[in-house]
């Protein structure tokens, strides 16, 4: 996969997260819970965290991952 920002080859890997990960349209100060229809709660696990297949561009710092396919934690 090539980086959509700079066009260089991205390296495959895993985005590994902690308890909560959210992608919100605006920055939420207190809670990561969705407020807008475009907000996405990507991962919400009390104890384990969540992992995703992803790609990283070390040239410009972009990370891409598929948030709909959570890898089951071991």
Q: Which residues bind Zn ion (CB under 5 A)?
A: 3, 5-6, 57, 59-60, 62
42 or 56: whose CB is closer to Zn ion? 56
- The CB-of-73 to Zn ion minimum distance in angstroms stands at 29
How far the first Cα of the chain sits from its last, in Å, is 27
Which lies closer to Zn ion via its Cβ, residue 2 or residue 33? 2
- Nearest approach, Cβ of 62 to Zn ion (angstroms)? 5
Residue among 55, 47, 60 nearest 17 (CA) = 47
Q: Are 52 and 69 in contact (CB under 8 A)?
A: yes
């Amino acid at each position: 996969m090539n980086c959509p920002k700079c066009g260089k080859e991205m390296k495959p890997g895993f985005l590994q997260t902690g308890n909560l990960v959210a992608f919100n349209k605006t920055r939420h100060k207190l809670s990561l819970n969705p407020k807008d229809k475009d907000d996405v709660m990507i991962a919400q696990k009390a104890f384990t965290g969540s992992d995703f297949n992803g790609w990283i561009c070390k040239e410009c710092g972009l990370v891409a991952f598929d948030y709909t396919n959570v890898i089951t934690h071991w």
